[in-house]
């Protein structure tokens, strides 16, 4: 059963609606449909929201450390609430998936994603769920860093919203641990 959903991203206005903030965008979308409210938590160096999905209490977390330092806030929250890594879903951008695709997986490495790398290092476990949000790769000679930190075009934002809507339709099953499929 999932009790914590972590959205990865970078804090600050300059990073809003960038490809690298796909995780933040997802948990922000989820809070809006669940009528939850974000509160700033200095204890966890994060923004935290609580909601009830399918009768289950669910924490939503946006670490306010930069992406590559997400592990400390995540580790603090897991320890404080005595949650195990397998009760956590981390939502993050993924260059290896085409834009608009998602992939749900459990366990595994960081795949070069520094936010995941830091979480794995701080919680000393790979045993958690990941929702990978495809952002595609840059075209031609654009640097990866410039690409992931660039603002999403309007069409891409619309695609993500549609994708998020499909995931949220299945969120009760996800929270309950039913990972059979995600449908539109």
Active site residues: 20
Q: How far is the C-alpha of 146 from the C-alpha of 168, rounded, in Å?
A: 30
Report residue 159 as tokens: 């695609």
Question: Which of helix, strand or coil describes residue 19?
Answer: helix
Q: How are strands ordered across the β-sheet holding 88-94?
A: 39-41, 46-53, 56-63, 4-7, 88-94, 129-134, 102-106
Beta bridge partners of 130: 90, 105
Kind plus residue range of the DSSP H or E element containing 40? strand 39-41
């Amino acid at each position: 059963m999932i009790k914590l959903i972590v959205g990865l991203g970078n804090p600050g206005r300059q990073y809003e609606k960038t490809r690298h903030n796909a995780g933040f965008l997802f948990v922000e979308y989820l809070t809006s449909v669940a009528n939850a409210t974000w509160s700033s938590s200095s204890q966890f160096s994060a923004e935290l929201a609580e909601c009830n999905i399918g009768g289950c209490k669910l924490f939503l977390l946006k670490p306010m450390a930069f992406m590559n330092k997400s592990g400390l806030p995540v580790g603090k929250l897991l320890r404080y609430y005595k949650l195990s890594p397998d009760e956590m879903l981390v939502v993050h951008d993924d260059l290896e998936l085409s834009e608009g695709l998602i992939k749900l997986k459990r366990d595994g490495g960081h795949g070069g994603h520094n936010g995941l790398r830091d979480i794995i290092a701080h919680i000393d476990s790979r045993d958690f769920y990941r929702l990978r949000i495809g952002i595609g790769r840059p075209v031609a000679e654009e640097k990866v860093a410039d690409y992931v930190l660039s603002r999403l075009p309007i069409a891409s934002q619309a695609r993500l919203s549609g994708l998020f809507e499909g995931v949220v339709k299945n969120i009760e099953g996800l929270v309950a641990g039913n990972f059979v499929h995600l449908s539109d």
